[in-house]
Structure 1
Amino acid sequence: MEDYHVAKYRNENNHELGLFAIFDGHMGESVPSYLKANLFNNILEEPLFWRDPHSAMKNAYCSTNKYILENSNQLGHGGSTAVTAIVIDGKDLWIANVGDSRAVLCERGTANQLTVDHEPHAERSRIEKQGGFVTTFPGDVPRVNGQLAVARAFGDKSLRAHLSSEPDVRHIPIDSTIKFVILASDGLWKVMKNEEAIDLVKSIKDPQAAAKRLTTEALARKSKDDISCIVIRFRC
């Protein structure tokens, strides 16, 4: 099991923060474990966070990845995708991701994907400009240098010259049209479309029960990857 997650609330600077994340590791557990322990602290310690969460999240992803690479002797040469969500005072949702862990919002009863799946074929031009290549050999999935099936991730020192750790960041003001958001690793999304996931749990009010329903269904559909899932329900 190389997936790690965060789901907690804390008070910071007279604000209530909901902190949620999925870290889907590969080639070992050290990097996702480090992210679980440190990434949110790094984001919140960014001087810009309260004025400019968008820049703070980008800066923290970059600085965290720099630390991971510089300490690969301790943390290993593996890596991790990430999707992080910060809910501020129940009014603002900030989402950031690298890789193929995904956030999908239930808005007006339909699915709205908030994250970008950072697939190698979509970033082939950047990868090739940086001296790498994208190939489906071996297998049938595009991979960076024939190794990694995502174009952005934390860690992966051997591929670092050709990967990016810059996240896509989204801000969503929370209102009555927004009911919940699903965060999940690709073990769920490989076997379930966004709309299917939303429809499956929109009537389940308890978020833990909803997350369990999604993972149970993914297993029933013979998902062969690790499956981690968090459902965040809003009070509006």
Structure 2
Amino acid sequence: MSKAEISKMKQKPPLVPLGALIGRELRNEKVEKRTVKYGQTALAKKGEDYFLIKPDCQRVVDNQSTSFSVFAIFDGHNGISAAIFAKENLLKNVLSAIPEGLGGEEWLQALPRALVAGFVKTDIEFRQGGEKSGTTVTFVVIDGWTVTVASVGDSRCILDTQGGVVSLLTGNHRLEENAEERERVTASGGEVGRLNVGGNEVGPLRCWPGGLCLSRSIGDTDVGEFIVPVPHVKQVKLSSAGGRLIIASDSIWDALSSDQAAQSCRGLPADLAAKLVVKEALRSRGLKDDTTCLVVDIIPYDHPVLPPTPKKKHTLLNSLFFGKRSENSMNKGSSKLSAVGAVEELFEEGSAMLAERLGKDFPLNSNSGLFKCAICQVDQQPSDGLSVNSGPFFSPGSKPWEGPFLCATCRKKKDAMEGKRPSKPAITA
């Protein structure tokens, strides 16, 4: 055998036993897969908080590879009917707004718009019953490593990642804390102010009529339509290191900051973590309202618990070089998603305007010759429906014949939310 042949043989990679190859594939598959572990704790004061836990949903029936999970909190006010109705109908309405036959990535891309349609449809259906209660909603969908959160009101969902960065995944629709929402409410015909007691203004900012301190909810029929059900939606993708979600009603966040809630339960299993977050909130504030907390761990396959975030060693040298971070910089850091590749932001939109939230790709169904309402999903003749952009109020730059199309009922809902009323006929002499 020549030296060249011997050299060539030496360059060949060594043979790997079949068992070792199969083991590698299984290990890689487990790394790519994730599992969801969760815990919940709820204490009642008024009995108006409800929650939804559905860890084993499927996009395609009997197909485990299409599974996803749903977790939600419904914090009712002025009664329980809106919270119960949303718990029983919201998921169904969201799924009905997603076209059939989509693959995983397409399904996730369609989900933000479907959440908007589902929230609005649920609100329309509930109002038809004449009930006056309302509810905030924080609605979380977990598909693989992708987390999509839709929210109206002041419940909150935070994400705690292995990098120790705590990120807010929900909007804040308290009038006291959201100047944009105050402007929208007043522009749509509502009034914003505090309670007047003996000539003195007291308490948080509220909208009138109704006196609600929130600008978005499902229900609240006795308040103006400017209290809208259009959710803030945020979609992020985790790395295979996973992360922890803490979903809780406002009584938790009135007592704890996002960082405090995350730090109070790190390194503990989800069921114990939920109890500890509630305990920590009660310790500082007491039970003044219904208090509900869901903790959801999204972790690599076969991991018993999300590992604690490693603590950085604080040395004198670190202090000299970096000093103490200001409160401003810490707040900025906690409002951003992790910059170490742990989380990728895919989508975020909080506008209350349906024309901005429903997209334009709702073409005519060539098979039936019908349009489908983008909200209630009812087929209609082209002459019966109206585009989101049509009517006397569309902007000069828009194209009123473009979709999405709305049925007459959903069109009225859209106009009412935006404070649009038919102009009064001019009186001629």
Q: What is the SS of the residue equivalent to 2:222?
A: helix
2:186 counterpart SS class: helix
2:239 and 2:125 map into 1 onto residues whose CA distance is 37
Return the alpha-carbon distance in structure 2 between the equivalents of residues 48 and 94 of structure 1: 18
Local SS of the residue matching 1:56: helix
4+ runs of 1 displaced by more than 4 Å?
none
Q: Could you say what secondary structure the match of 1:213 adopts?
A: helix
* Partner residue, 2:172: 117
Aligned residues: percent identity?
A: 29
Q: Do residues 234 (structure 1) and 292 (structure 2) align?
A: no
Q: Provide the C-alpha distance between the structure 2 equivalents of 1:2 and 1:19, rounded to a whole number of angstroms.
A: 20
Question: What amino acid does structure 2 have at the position aligned with 1:211?
Answer: A
Aligned mates of 2:289, 2:173 — CA distance in 1? 18
Partner Cα distance (1:190, 1:113) in 2: 15
Write the distance in 2 (CA, Å) between the matches of 1:26 and 1:172: 30
Query: Are 1:61 and 1:166, in contact at CA under 8 Å, matched by a contact in 2?
Result: yes
Secondary structure of 2:255's counterpart equals coil
Answer whether contact 1:104 1:194 (CA < 8 A) is retained: yes
Structure scoring higher RCO (CA < 8 A, sep ≥ 6) equals: 1
| Residue equivalent to 1:10 | 56
Equivalent positions of 1:76-91 (< 5 A) are 76-88=131-143, 90-91=144-145
2:110 corresponds to: 52
Q: Which shifted more, 131-140 or 187-196?
A: 131-140
1:42 maps to a residue whose letter is N
Asked if structure 1 preserves the Cα contact closer than 8 Å seen for 2:154 and 2:173, the reply is: yes
Structure 1 unaligned blocks of 5 or more? none
Q: Over residues 57-112 of structure 1, what are the superposed CA-to-partner deviations in whole Å (9 max), with x where a residue is unaligned?
A: 0110011111111122xxx2010000000111x32111000000101110221211
- Rounded Cα–Cα distance in structure 1 between residues aligned with 2:55 and 2:263: 27
What TM-score does the superposition give when structure 2 sets the normalisation length?
A: 0.52
Corresponding residue to 1:127 among 166, 185, 190: 185
- The reply on whether 1:66 has 2:117 as its aligned counterpart is no
1:170 paired residue number: 234
Q: How far apart, CA to CA, are the structure 2 residues paired with 1:114 and 1:148?
A: 23
1:212 pairs with 275, 292, 309, which one?
275
* Distance in 2 between residues matched to 1:69 and 1:160, nearest whole Å: 12
Q: Secondary structure at the match of 1:162?
A: coil
Amino acid at match of 1:166: V
Q: Is the 8 A contact 2:72 2:140 kept in 1?
A: yes
Q: Which residue of 2 aligns with 1:96?
A: 150
Q: Does the residue aligned with 2:203 lie in a helix, a strand or coil?
A: coil
Q: Which has the larger radius of gyration?
A: 2
Unpaired segments ≥5 residues, structure 2: 1-46, 101-106, 197-201, 301-429
In the TM superposition, residue 24 of structure 1 has moved relative to its aligned partner by 0.2
Q: Hey, what's the Cα distance between the residues in 2 that align with 1:48 and 1:183?
A: 28
1:26 to 74, 77, 81: 77
Q: 3-state SS of the aligned residue for 1:142? A: strand
Q: Counterpart amino acid of 1:168?
A: H
Which residue pairs with 1:151 in the alignment?
Answer: 215
